Structure formats: C-alpha cells, structure tokens
Amino acid sequence: MGRRKKDARCIMHTNASKQVLIIGAGIAGIATAIRLQVAGYQVKVIEKNSYPGGKLSSFKNGDFSFDAGPSLFTQPHFIEELFDLAKEDIQLFFSYQKEPITCTYFYEDGTVIKAYSDKKKLAAELYEKTGEPVTNINRFLQSTDKLYNSIGSFFLQHSLHKFKTLLKKDIVAALAAFRSRFIFQSMNSFHEESFKSPKLVQLFNRYATYNGSNPYKAPSMLSMIPHLEFNIGTFYPKGGMISITNALVSLAEKKGVKFVYNQQVDEIFIKDKKVSGALVGGQKIDADIIVSNMDAYFTYKYLLKDNDKAKKILKQERSSSAVIFYWGLNKSFPQLGLHNIFFSNDYQKEFDHLFNSKQVFDDPTIYINITAKPEPGLHAPVGMENWFVMVNAPAHTSQVWGEQMHIYRENIIKKLNRMLGENIKPHIVCENILTPAEIEHKTASYAGSLYGTSSNSKMAAFLRHPNFSSKIKNLFFVGGSVHPGGGIPLCLQSAKITASIIANHE
C-alpha cells in the first residue's frame, strides 16, 4: 500500500512540470482543464472571446437576459462528477431542480401535449391526446433505457479509436445487446414500428435534432436519446444555463487553471512530430501538451496549416445549424412552459430543406425556451418574458443570411400567431438575432454546425475525429466536432475521454 501511495505522489510531481495549453474556453475545454489541473498538470486556457463558455454563454438586452446557446440541461451527474473529482462542494457553486414537464408540444390541428417527466403521467397524457396504447409507450421507453445502458453509454464513454477499448470487459455486454437494425434502420422507421400515432412518430423523430441530424436518414441507434429526458429527466440550472459555465470556470480557477481572454491562437508549433507550443498574440507560448477545443476542421486548416487533412474532415456531412431570435415580450403567456415546440406540418419536407436544398423552409418547427418561467422576475421584468426562439437551419454555405432573416421572422411570427391564437408581434419590445454565419464566427464551429458532423450516415459515430492525433504527439482534441459529439453531456464526456487518454499517454 505504501509503495502505491509513493508512486501516486511521483506521478503528481511529474505532471506538475507538464504545461498544458487548451485552445478555447468552451464547456469541453473548461471541463478538460479541470480534470488535468486536478491531475497535477499546469493548465492554461486561451480564449479569443472576452467571455468563457463558447456557445454556452449569455447576454442582456435592456431588462431582459438570455442564454445565448444550449437551453436544455440533462444528465447533471456529469457536472457533479467534476466537483467530486476536485473535492469541492458543488452546492457552493451550482444548484438545479428537476422539471415536472420536459416540453410542451403544439400541433397545427390544435393538439397540445405536455410531456411529463413522470412516466405514468406521460403515458396517460399521450393516450388521451393521441390514443396511443400505454403498452406501446412503456415498451418504447424500456427499449430506449436498455439501448442507452447496454450499448450507448459504453460507446459514449470510451474512445472508439483506441485498441484498448476492445479489451474492456464491458464491451462484451455492449456487443451482445447490439442489433444490426440500430445501424441499418432509420429513426423514423423504428418509430413508425413503435407507435400508431403519427404525432408520436414526429415527437420522437425530433430527437435527431439533438445532434443536428435527419431522422429519415440517421440510424435508429439515436432513438436512445429520449431516454435521457423520459427515463432520467430534464433539469433547470438556477440562474439559467450560463450558471453551468460560471460554476465550472469558478471551479477551474479555484484549482489553479489560468484563463486568458481576448487572445487568439494563430498556429500550433510542431517539432520532431511533437507539439512544442503555440503562437498567441504574436508570441510563442511553450507547451508540452495542447488540447484543441476548436472545431477540428479549423484546427487543421488554420493552426496546423494542413489543408489536406482539413479537406478530409469535410468529407463528412455537417450537422444542421440554427437561426435564433432573442425576443423580450411585454406580456406573459400562461399556455407556454420552460421548453416549447411548435411542429411543422410536413416534417420530412423540413429536413429535406435542411440537408438537401439547404434553403429556408416556409413552415419551420419552432422551439421556444423561456427561463422567466421557472424564475419569474429574474430574467425579465415581472409579467414579461424572455423568449429564446430557435428554428433549425442548414449549415452555412453560400446563403446570404441577412436577406433571409426577414423570411424566417415573418414565417415564425405567422405560425405562432396562428397556433397561439393571438398576434405576438406588437408585444416584441427588444430583439437580437443569431445566424449560422455568426455562430461560425463566434464559436469557431465550421459552417455554424452546432454539433460538428451529422449522424446521418450509418458509420457516423466511427468517422468522427478521434480525441487525439495519431500523427502528432501530445496533440489532443475535445468538444462537439470530435468523439462522442456535440451537446453539453457529450462535450463533458469528450473532456473525460480526452483527459483519460492524456493521463494514460503520459
């Protein structure tokens, strides 16, 4: 026992001499910084913006405050895990509550479905509103639970590009539960087999958008995503989503991580096929290890000057992007909740526009997030609401977004007026707009793709860029453009995978 403790101290001492440079203070970069700093490395994070969080940031417009990016919080245990690892009390930094309703769904025929987090209430609601037998709903939720816990969790928690993964004992159980239909059958086909109601097929198809994919092409493996909401639950971080970023930055700083803002990394230096540092603000910063939280495409194209590798990355289809309107409304709408979806009448045609014609669709599915609901008076004046209004959009190619914003805005307002039964336009007292081109610029996400690459191909999970470079020693990758993908939970798992590879690599 004594020998093992001595070895542990030696490892910590060795790590302390290792300088780690993390490019980008997105949520994955921050989480990686925490893990490596706690492991004894000396970590510095370089962020080109004046604020941390990447997409997970916030801003104010007059009396209204808005979370700028991700608005759904699931799997809070990944946040708790970081505080446990750092031996800090999470309650001093962060708190959250479980939401009784995961989302409220609105259909053009007037049907409104409240997706309760309680499975019995959910089944009763779905039966009442759609006539779907309770047995079908329970069977589906049980299958998503099994799919996630027997297969999904294993592949999301380990590198798919390391031979050691194949030697882990858990892989036997994962492979035993694997069925070819999870790869070769589409989400939509699987859902059509599972439900009689077209409304529920559409409801569960929307989960493909959680990684920017098309449910009519993406494999049914993605049907495990609803498990996170309906078998585990959705949560609300008090203070809004920005409180996640604030808590993790505070934790990182307390453990000794150094953050440098308003500085851009212009080049990664390689010597003898090994990283040696980076060019930051015209000066070289030495580093033993570099972790890029920047989109893998931009990392190769601009920081490594490797156009051939960058082009190879673009062979994979990009995920969808989004157009977001941030509206302050001088009125409250009691029929709305924290999360709300107004469905398109032709879902398949909408996805055809997103991934094929790459043009504005005149009947978009609309998502509205209102943080003034769980915390009245905090994010908007009492009696008013802050609306985060998002529609799926194609990745940025050659579109002129300024010309299309008027079309998006008018289509959204027209649809909401019709489905809510009143004119919302006079109640919009302030507005900000975010386009795919601006997402690309602000977050270094190529083409404004929210989740890097899509999962529309059968082998997409295996084609994502690994969390490490096989050509350049001590160069690693983290975040939404690499394994296991985009979204807060996956980015936090990406950080765990990357930090583990670095620790074992050393």
Q: Is the peptide bond before 364 cis (omega within 30 degrees of 0)?
A: no
H/E run at residue 129: helix 119-130
What's the rounded Cα separation, in Å, for the pair 248 and 235?
Answer: 17
Name which residue leads in pLDDT, 360 or 257.
257
What's the rounded Cα separation, in Å, for the pair 207 and 401?
Answer: 26
Residue 165: per-residue pLDDT: 54
Residue 3 has pLDDT above 50, yes or no: no
Q: Label residue 152 by pLDDT band (50, 70, 90).
A: low
Mean per-residue pLDDT over the chain, rounded: 91
Residue 427 has pLDDT above 80, yes or no: yes
What would the mean pLDDT of 290-296 be, rounded to a whole number?
97
Residue 6: per-residue pLDDT: 40
Taking a C-beta distance cutoff of 8 angstroms, is the pair 378, 361 a contact?
no
pLDDT of 337-361, one tens digit each?
A: 999 999 999 999 999 999 999 888 9
pLDDT of 436-464, one tens digit each?
A: 999 999 998 999 999 888 888 766 666 78
**Alpha helix positions (H), 294-424:** 296-298, 307-313, 347-352, 401-420
Strands (E) across 435-496 are located at 475-477
With H, G, I as helix, E, B as strand and everything else as coil, classify residue 115.
strand
Residue 10: per-residue pLDDT: 45
Name which residue leads in pLDDT, 400 or 162.
400
Residue 97: per-residue pLDDT: 97
Taking a C-beta distance cutoff of 8 angstroms, is the pair 227, 254 a contact?
no
Cα 61 to Cα 67, 82, 427: the distances in Å are: 11, 32, 15
Residue 169 has pLDDT above 90, yes or no: no
Name which residue leads in pLDDT, 403 or 496.
496
Taking a C-beta distance cutoff of 8 angstroms, is the pair 85, 38 a contact?
yes
What would the mean pLDDT of 317-345 be, rounded to a whole number?
96
- Delineate the domains of the chain, giving CATH numbers in brackets: 2-96+239-316+464-505 (3.50.50.60), 124-228 (no CATH), 317-443 (no CATH)
Of 7-11, 68-72, 374-378, the poorest mean pLDDT is in 7-11
Phi/psi for 310 (5° steps) reads: -60, -40
Residue 454: per-residue pLDDT: 87
Structure tokens at 336: 């709305």
Taking a C-beta distance cutoff of 8 angstroms, is the pair 364, 350 a contact?
yes
- Burial of 93 (C-beta count, 10 Å sphere; 0-12/13-18/19+): middle
What would the mean pLDDT of 276-281 be, rounded to a whole number?
96
Q: Label residue 153 by pLDDT band (50, 70, 90).
A: low
The DSSP code sequence of 459-475 is THHHHSBPSB-SSSBTE
Q: Label residue 173 by pLDDT band (50, 70, 90).
A: low
Taking a C-beta distance cutoff of 8 angstroms, is the pair 483, 466 a contact?
yes
Taking a C-beta distance cutoff of 8 angstroms, is the pair 209, 392 a contact?
yes
Structure tokens at 333: 């709408």
Residue 146: per-residue pLDDT: 87
Q: Label residue 4 by pLDDT band (50, 70, 90).
A: very low
Percent of the chain whose pLDDT exceeds 90: 78
**Alpha helix positions (H), 168-241:** 170-177, 181-184, 187-194, 198-205, 226-227
Residue 391 has pLDDT above 80, yes or no: yes
Structure tokens at 482: 């690499």
HSE, side-chain direction, 13 A CA sphere, residue 204: 30
pLDDT of 218-255, one tens digit each?
A: 998 889 999 999 999 999 999 999 999 999 999 999 99
Quote the DSSP letter at residue 425: G
Of 4-13, 61-70, 339-348, the poorest mean pLDDT is in 4-13
Residue 178 has pLDDT above 60, yes or no: no
CB 308: neighbour CB atoms within 10 A? 7
**Alpha helix positions (H), 132-280:** 134-147, 153-157, 170-177, 181-184, 187-194, 198-205, 226-227, 242-255
Structure tokens at 16: 């302390």
Of 22-36, 148-162, 363-377, the poorest mean pLDDT is in 148-162
Instruction: For 443-479, give one letter per residue: b (16+ CB within 10 A) or e.
Output: bbbbbbbbbbbbbbbbebbebbbbbbbeebebbbbbb
pLDDT of 19-52, one tens digit each?
A: 999 999 999 999 999 999 999 999 999 999 999 9
What would the mean pLDDT of 195-215 be, rounded to a whole number?
96
Phi/psi for 213 (5° steps) reads: -115, 175
Tokens 């490490």, residue located = 468
